[in-house]
Amino acid sequence: MANTLGIVKPDGVRRKLVGNIISRIEKAGLIIRGLKALRLSKEQAAKFYAVHEGKPFYRSLIEFMTSGPVVVMVIGGHDSIDRWRDLMGHTDPARARYNTIRREFGTSIEKNVVHGSDSATTARSEVAFFFGDDEVLPKE
């Protein structure tokens, strides 16, 4: 029952997709356990995506992720890490399955609307990156 981190990226917030995305999460039986809106600094974005440092898309990704506010969420429920990744779809919207968020709303491999942790280890550290223990609802 591990929690995972979700982000509605600046393209999703700009296009008013926050409600739609939260609705998909809840309809899938997952639970919003933490939620806030913020704007990432360059330093925060660089640190959050440090695993991609040196890759050709890194600088552009930092620019994009700091281009406007984001909504960060702690998503819980059974198998939340994999199930949130399933709702998001493939990194490249063109390769994502129908009815996934990225397929429906993504406009490029960079501007793909949402982020989700990719493992239990990254989920733990990514949730802690944005949320203190007192900002996450306990599991019932």
* Min dist. Cβ of residue 62 to ligand UDP (A): 10
Minimal distance in Å, beta carbon 87 to Mg ion?
15
Q: For the stretch 77-107, what's the b/e string if a residue is b when 16 or more beta carbons lie within 10 angstroms of its beta carbon?
A: beebbebbbebbbbeebeebeeebbbbebbe
Helix (H, G, I), strand (E, B) or coil at 129: helix
Is position 115 annotated as part of the catalytic site? Answer: yes
Q: Give the interface segment with ligand UDP, choosing from 25-33, 69-77, 111-119, 121-129 (CB under 6 A).
A: 111-119
Supply the angle between the helices 80-88 and 18-27 in degrees, to the nearest 10.
130
- By CB under 6 A, tell whether 112 contacts ligand UDP: yes
CA 79 centroid distance within chain:
16
Residue 30 in tokens: 């997952």
Do residues 75 and 31 make contact, with C-beta atoms less than 8 angstroms apart? yes
Q: Which partner in Mg ion, ligand UDP, none is near 117 (CB below 5 to 8 A by kind)?
A: none
Residues 95-124 that bind Mg ion (CB under 5 A): 118
Q: Which is nearer to ligand UDP, 46 or 61 (CB)?
A: 61
**Minimum CB distance to ligand UDP, residue 117 (Å):** 8
What are the catalytic residues? Answer: 115
Q: Residues interacting with ligand UDP, by CB under 6 A?
A: 57, 61, 91, 109-110, 112, 115, 118
